[in-house]
Amino acid sequence: MTKELWINLPVKGLNEAIDFFTTIGFAFNKNSPGVSPLTAPIQVGSKAITVMLFQEEAFKATCRNEISDTATGTEVLFSFNLASQAEVDELAAKITNAGGNLFAPPAEFQGWMYGCAFADLDGHRWNALYMDMSKIKA
- Whichever domain contains 123, its CATH number is 3.10.180.10
Residues sharing a CB contact under 8 Å with residue 49, sequence separation 6 or more, in sequence order? 5, 7, 43
Amino acid 136: pLDDT: 87
- The answer to whether residues 15 and 72 touch, using CB atoms and an 8 Å cutoff, is no
**Separation CA 37–CA 1 (nearest Å):** 30
Percent of all residues in the chain with a pLDDT value above 90, rounded to a whole number: 80
Closest CA to 130 of 96, 90, 80, 95: 80
Flag whether pLDDT at 1 surpasses 80.
no
Amino acid 33: pLDDT: 81
Percent of all residues in the chain with a pLDDT value above 70, rounded to a whole number: 99
What letter represents residue 6's amino acid? W
**Separation CA 32–CA 70 (nearest Å):** 28
* Last residue within a domain, chosen from 20, 41, 65: 65
Residues 28 and 5 in one domain: yes
Residues 138 and 79 in one domain: yes
Flag whether pLDDT at 50 surpasses 80.
yes
Q: How distant is the alpha carbon of residue 5 from its chain centre?
A: 15
What letter represents residue 64's amino acid? R
Closest CA to 95 of 13, 48, 25: 25
Top mean-pLDDT range of 22-31, 35-44, 96-105: 96-105
Residues 138 and 80 in one domain: yes
Query: How many CB atoms lie under 10 A from the CB of residue 36?
Result: 12
User: What total of structural domains would you count in the chain?
Assistant: 2
| Residue-number span of the structural domain to which 82 is assigned | 74-138
Flag whether pLDDT at 121 surpasses 80.
yes
- The answer to whether residues 38 and 54 touch, using CB atoms and an 8 Å cutoff, is yes
Flag whether pLDDT at 128 surpasses 90.
yes
Mean pLDDT for 13-38 is 92
| pLDDT digit string, tens, across residues 63-80 | 999 999 999 999 899 999
